[in-house]
Amino acid sequence: MKKIFSILFSNLPLKLLSLLVAFLLWLNITSMQKSKIEFYTPIEVRNVPENIIITKIKPDKVLVIIEGYKGTLSTIDISDIKAYVDGKKIKPGNNVLTVQVEIPTGLKLIGVRPKTIIVKAIEEKKKGES
């Protein structure tokens, strides 16, 4: 019994240090693994001409799939990821626009579904027009 006790507790500080180093190494390796997350985010319409009014966006949300290191993914704020369409060429009627996504540095965009959306717009009537 004394022999087992002495084996277990001899060089205790060194054994505890080894255990701590192993834990930190494990923690570092697991945070370096890549992972994917998927979530729905609303679509913004940017650069809309002043005379155009957006009446409908279909669909109004898209599925965004991003990849990154687990450590990076655990610290991001989903609101930092923006899905948008460029509306500078929108005309009255139905417009098919390609969805673009802004993501923080260190992440990779895997996909967005759907890739295009339909934006319905009308032309704003100027004062004095009927």
Per-residue pLDDT tens listing for the chain (130 residues)? 778 878 777 888 888 899 999 999 888 777 678 889 999 999 999 999 999 999 999 999 999 999 998 878 888 888 999 999 999 999 999 999 999 999 999 899 999 999 999 999 999 887 666 5
> Is this model's pTM higher than 0.85 or not?
no
Confidence at residue 129, expressed as pLDDT on a 0 to 100 scale: 60
Confidence at residue 83, expressed as pLDDT on a 0 to 100 scale: 98
Confidence at residue 20, expressed as pLDDT on a 0 to 100 scale: 93
Of the candidates 41, 42, 54, the one whose C-alpha atom is nearest the C-alpha of residue 87 is: 54
Confidence at residue 47, expressed as pLDDT on a 0 to 100 scale: 96
Q: Return the structure tokens found at 116.
A: 């295009």
Q: Which amino acid is at 4?
A: I
Distance CA 42, CA 93 (A): 21
Q: Return the structure tokens found at 118.
A: 């339909």
Overall fold of domain 34-123: RNA Polymerase Alpha Subunit; Chain A, domain 2 (2.170.120)
